[in-house]
């Protein structure tokens, strides 16, 4: 399950892990004009962990989800040489 909310300066998506198996804490994604943050509560550290992506990093992540193993640069294609393993 997930929710989408539109705030004044961000779109907030919350992913809820449902099911009878081991469940993870909710993941919250905040999409701002210049970056995207991903947050998840860590019960062991008793705090919210946060990762911030620039818009360029987000574009590269989106592309990487559909590419085979290797080293890439979006603007210039793959780097020369063998893909990393």
Identify the three-state secondary structure at position 59. Answer: helix
Q: What is the dihedral of CA 56, 25, 13, 21, to 10 degrees?
A: 110
pLDDT higher than threshold 80 for residue 12: yes
| Average pLDDT in the chain | 86
Q: What is the pTM of this model?
A: 0.76
Domain ranges of the chain: 2-76
Specify the residue for token string 């210039």.
76
User: Whole-angstrom Cα distance, residue 22 to residue 11?
Assistant: 28
Radius of gyration of the chain (CA): 16
pLDDT grade for 48, boundaries at 50, 70 and 90 = very high
Identify the three-state secondary structure at position 57. Answer: helix
């Amino acid at each position: 399950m997930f929710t989408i909310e539109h705030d004044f300066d961000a779109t907030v998506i919350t992913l809820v892990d449902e099911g009878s198996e081991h469940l993870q804490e909710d993941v919250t994604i905040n999409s701002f004009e210049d970056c995207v943050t991903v947050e998840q509560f860590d019960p062991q550290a008793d705090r919210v962990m946060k990762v911030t992506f620039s818009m360029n990093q987000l574009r590269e992540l989106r592309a990487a989800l559909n590419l085979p193993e290797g080293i890439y640069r979006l603007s210039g294609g793959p780097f020369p040489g063998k893909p990393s393993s």
